[in-house]
Structure 1
Amino acid sequence: MTDSFQYRALFLSDIHLGTRGCQAEMLLDFLREYDAEYIYLVGDIFDGWRLRKGWYWPQSHNDVVQKILRKGRKGSKIIYVPGNHDEVMRNYLGTHFGGIDVKEKDIYTALSGEKFLIIHGDQFDMVVMNAKWLAYLGDWAYETILKINTSVNRIKRLWGGQYWSLSRWAKHKVKSAVNFIGDYEAVLSSEAEKADVNGIICGHIHHPAMHDVNGIKYINTGDWVESCTAVIEHLDGTFELIEWSKVTRLRTEARSSKKMQLVAGGRQTKTV
């Protein structure tokens, strides 16, 4: 079956459909180019927390859902591992609908033979587990930052600028955030070791990563709010973390450069 696909596996998480911060158009562009035999939706695909407060579901969000379902109809095996924002889907664990299997977690065997634990990761976030009110407060603060970020990017686009994430920048600069990310990676890598697998693929903290932690392959798919990232397994068994916002930026720059060269070439021809 793999021969009919461009890639062996595709891993997506933290899309947060139903929020204004969701970069649905960018995700649609990505999905138009990437097909895989296995597609893992690693939690927070839609945001039930936000939708309960107010309905927001533009056509682009519906297009994302339809695009994923269409991939299932074309033969992709789709596994949905719910997260905390779409935790309502945990009421349907073990069910199959629309070509999608809903599971609490899964073990994925890569082409190399290595096994990966697939899990969203909120189960190991003490704030989410033990102080949900604080998680909701954090969600409100995060949404506020995203609103600021949306305004900044709207202004940047008017001047030909590219997508930039304020919250992602802050994660790299604020010491407590950096420490939390490090602790999170260590805890999840330890869980993978307990499961007797070679690695773990997760989401939840909106921080894409692919490296070894204490001998365990730690892969975080990132998100489609801040990072616009996904993970793919190529047909040769190698894994790649794709930052789609960077890909689109490089393509735009390449097109602009080519256009400038053509214009310059035309000027030179006229001069001669």
Structure 2
Amino acid sequence: MSPASIVPLPLRRRAVFVSDVHLGSKHCHAAEFADFLQGLRCDKLYLVGDIVDLWWMSQRRAAWGSAQYRVVEALHALARAGTELIYVPGNHDRSIRRFCGLTLPRMQVRRRAIHLTADGRRLLVTHGDDYDAVTQFGGLQEKFGDWLYDRILTGNKLTNQVRRRFGKRYWSLADFLKRQSGAAERYISRFVQAGLDDARTRGLDGIVCGHIHRASLFERDGCVYANDGDWVESLTALVEEADGTLRLLTHTGETRASLPPRMPRALPENEELPHAA
């Protein structure tokens, strides 16, 4: 085989985090998610809740076809290739929580998990619906918000169908509209603070979550906030590289944000590293 015909292997990630796929709902971008998984190579894959939308499937007609079957097969292929799968159920796949603590070949089901990065950071992995009590508006305002969000997601899908016909890249109408809403931004701000506070209370270095469909990656006062986004709006995932670098990726592999590895602790003057045994 000539060098020109050799196809390079995809980069292997130390860990990958995805959430809010909502398989079975009409808003899921299952084809894009299947493509992402099929190009993935990683040691660990965290499924951070709402992977299958059991709530939608119990209330309305399930949207299930060839793209959804491709997702399932891609997950099986990753497991067969040696990837460890950790499932942390969310609110739309809540019934799976009764299996928390179960360990299957290449898969674990956990209520929450702690991920240790290559550079020693300990990150809480949780879906995020535990913080609803301090973030939700409640009552009619919340019900209207749910109704409006469903309409926005429908418009988001139609908009991108048109954009694809003209060869334009994916763009989230839903995220754009939410950023124009002061109420939505206040809700997200409360959610972020609740997650950071939870991580600090547990003595951890940060949090990886989903739930609010707003992909984000930053560090605040030494604590990492990583929201891996979703597959109905942002089409994003969080990855950890071999050196501990955290990177927020789009479904096409572009980097939206990144955090470098934590710097090693500086040694005080005259202190020496211990010699290897």
Q: TM-score, normalised by structure 1?
A: 0.83
CA contact (8 A) 1:127 1:134 kept: no
- What is the DSSP-based 3-state SS (H/G/I as helix, E as strand, rest coil) of the residue aligned with 1:149? helix
CA positional deviation for 1:162? 2.3
Percentage identity across paired residues of the two chains? 36
Identify the match of residue 49 of structure 2 among 36, 43, 47: 43
Q: Give every structure 1 segment of 4 or more consecutive aligned residues whose post-TM-superposition deviation is greater than 3 Å.
A: 127-140, 245-248
Question: When you count helix as a share of all residues, which structure comes out higher?
Answer: 1
Structure 1 segment 1-272 matched on structure 2, within 5 A: 6-52=12-58, 53-97=60-104, 99-126=106-133, 131=138, 138-244=145-251, 247=254
CA contact (8 A) 1:185 1:213 kept: no
- What is the DSSP-based 3-state SS (H/G/I as helix, E as strand, rest coil) of the residue aligned with 1:125? helix
Q: How many residues align?
A: 245
CA contact (8 A) 2:134 2:190 kept: no
Separation in structure 1 between the aligned mates of residue 164 and residue 129 of structure 2, nearest angstrom = 34
CA contact (8 A) 1:122 1:128 kept: no
CA positional deviation for 1:129? 7.9
Change over 3 Å in CA distance of 1:71–1:132 after alignment to 2: farther
CA contact (8 A) 1:10 1:36 kept: yes
CA contact (8 A) 1:189 1:216 kept: yes
Separation in structure 2 between the aligned mates of residue 94 and residue 151 of structure 1, nearest angstrom = 40
Separation in structure 1 between the aligned mates of residue 115 and residue 43 of structure 2, nearest angstrom = 12
Change over 3 Å in CA distance of 1:87–1:135 after alignment to 2: farther
CA positional deviation for 1:106? 0.5
Separation in structure 2 between the aligned mates of residue 118 and residue 68 of structure 1, nearest angstrom = 20
CA positional deviation for 1:135? 5.8
Give, as a single letter, the amino acid of the residue that structure 1 aligns with 2:12.
Q
Superposition RMSD in Å: 2.4
Unpaired stretches in structure 1, ≥5 consecutive residues: 249-272
- What is the DSSP-based 3-state SS (H/G/I as helix, E as strand, rest coil) of the residue aligned with 1:112? coil
1:110-161 CA distance string (max 9 Å, x none): 1101100000001101289895987665444322211122222222222222
Give, as a single letter, the amino acid of the residue that structure 2 aligns with 1:38.
K
Change over 3 Å in CA distance of 1:138–1:176 after alignment to 2: closer
Separation in structure 1 between the aligned mates of residue 152 and residue 117 of structure 2, nearest angstrom = 37
